[in-house]
Amino acid sequence: MRCKSCESCFQHYYADTCKQCHEHHKAKVAFLGATHPASFSDVVLFASDDEAAGPVPAHKAVLVSRSPVFNAILENEMEESLSGTIKIRDVSYGTLRAFVNYLYTTEVVCLDQQLACDLLVMAEKYQVHHLKDLCQKFLVANLNWENSFSIYTFVHQHNAKKIIDAALTLIIDNMDKLTAREEYAELKEKDPQLVFEIYEAYLSKQVNKAAAQKGYTGDLPLRRLPNFLFNPYRGMYIEDDEDLKKCISCNARYDAGTCKKCNEDLKKCHEDLKAKVAFLTTSQPDSFSDVVLFASDGGPAQAAIPVPAHKAVLVSRSPVFNAMLENEMEESLSGTIKICDVSYGTLHAFVNYLYTAEVVCIYQQLACDLFVLAKKYQVQHLKNCCEKFLVSNLNLDNSLSTYTFAHQHNAKPIIDAALTLITNNMDKLTAREEYAELKEKYPILILEIYVAYLSKLVNKVEGLVARFPL
């Protein structure tokens, strides 16, 4: 089967994605979600119902990238944008704090039913669809007899169709038990229209059940109900499962790949990771920037072109930027950072990666330059990305130059991969001009190549001797 992300073939352990791509998306979420919302904040939010609890600091750049409503408020010269203060009505401090934290991390700590309901309302108000989906999933997963009526009433007020359908299904499946509860009597008194909808759905279910027993597959009109109520159940054919295997996720029987439930769960998990990456990507790095970076080696013209950024993003992605900007160093005070030994294009790609975890149009030289920057500023996620690219793009033409580069920067995964390719093609590579240049400039590397090559030959001979003893 082929992975939807990287097109490689893989065993069907992960739903439509290979394990490497699945883990890659998980790493992206961790990288993009690692932020410090209190550092260098330029806006504060207050819960108008709980102002005594204090402000919730945030960054305009993050708010406008996560919410179209915040974007409209802050990008225009509205009162909130000018004052740097946003008051949120009808919300508690705890809910507001959880909401802002989600905008940075896509996580909600200690989520419960009440918090999920409150966050769903905020997510709907500020059009944070990713959070709304999370709250809907949580409420659906935690539906039970105790809360089915209260949840059904709540979601009707906020048009959350997924929860409405799930709650209605639970209610009509347990009508005999639920109608005896006190909550049913209260709902009947407060909102008789909802009770009518419940009974309408219940009656429709009974009709469809009777139709299924009769073998009728179309939509059954209510007027045909009497024809089905007293017909006997005809039974259902169950396929033979002798050839079925066990799902490696849940140990249940399945017919191919994974069982249906695990396949859907894994698929949802991967889709959720991709959605989190998209959500956490800060799409407007130019907005509200408070620091600029310059490439000092980009030539006179390029050296004058600034790359705008946000201190909060830099310190959350790089321990080096964190030490530089959190303390009163020259770069922090001036709001200007000069990066030595790098071109403008490389610097722009580096900063863009800190916001998106993506490199547009990556190629061999750019990967090498970004690897150096990633190592210098301890951006491990980018360093790993460059290593994977350089390893996957190794060939006879670049093997010697890549091996030299990797040695200069102690990149062991690239060294091992390049050395394997070189020792497997010694007869072809020793005749090349690059080999002669390497021999002249770095004889120690040639020595290491020959040591690895001879070791490989010895191991091969020993293997043959063991297989065919004299």
**Numbered ranges of CATH 1.25.40.420 in the chain:** 394-470
73-93 pLDDT, tens digit per residue, is 998 878 888 888 999 988 999
What pLDDT is attached to residue 263?
64
Phi and psi, residue 85, nearest 5°: -130, 130
Who contacts 314 (Cβ-Cβ below 8 Å, separation ≥6)?
Answer: 291, 321, 322, 325, 354
What pLDDT is attached to residue 269?
75
The three-class DSSP label of residue 1 is coil
- Please answer whether residues 41 and 311 qualify as being in contact, where contact means their C-beta atoms are separated by less than 8 angstroms: no
Would you list the DSSP string of 249-261? Answer: TT--EESSSS-HH
What pLDDT is attached to residue 252?
56
Topology of the domain comprising 394-470: 1.25.40
What pLDDT is attached to residue 425?
92
What pLDDT is attached to residue 82?
82
179-236 pLDDT, tens digit per residue, is 788 878 888 788 888 888 888 878 877 777 766 666 655 554 544 444 333 233 233 2
Phi and psi, residue 84, nearest 5°: 75, 20
**Numbered ranges of CATH 3.30.710.10 in the chain:** 289-391
- Cα separation, 341 vs 173, in Å, equals 68
- Cα separation, 37 vs 406, in Å, equals 36
User: How confident is the prediction along the chain (470 residues), in pLDDT tens digits per residue?
Assistant: 555 555 555 454 444 555 666 677 778 777 777 666 677 888 999 998 766 778 999 999 889 889 999 999 998 878 888 888 999 988 999 999 999 999 998 889 889 999 999 999 999 999 999 999 999 999 999 998 788 888 988 888 888 888 988 988 888 888 877 778 887 888 878 888 888 888 887 887 777 776 666 665 555 454 444 433 323 323 323 333 444 455 544 555 544 445 666 666 667 776 777 777 777 776 556 778 889 999 986 566 556 789 999 998 899 899 999 999 988 788 888 889 999 889 999 999 999 999 988 898 999 999 999 999 999 999 999 999 999 999 999 999 999 999 999 999 999 999 999 999 999 999 899 888 999 999 999 999 999 999 988 888 887 777 777 777 75
**CATH architecture for the domain at 289-391:** 2-Layer Sandwich (3.30)
What pLDDT is attached to residue 8?
54
Its sign, for the CA torsion 177, 179, 185, 190, is positive
Six token digits for residue 49? 């119902």
What pLDDT is attached to residue 10?
46
Rounded to 5°, the CA angle 157-160-163 comes to 110
| Alpha helices by DSSP H, 34-112 | 60-66, 68-75, 79-83, 93-105
Q: Which residues pair with 245 in a beta bridge?
A: 254
- Cα separation, 470 vs 280, in Å, equals 65
What pLDDT is attached to residue 238?
31
Residues shown for the chain: 470
> What is the model's pTM?
0.73
- Cα separation, 437 vs 422, in Å, equals 15
What pLDDT is attached to residue 158?
84
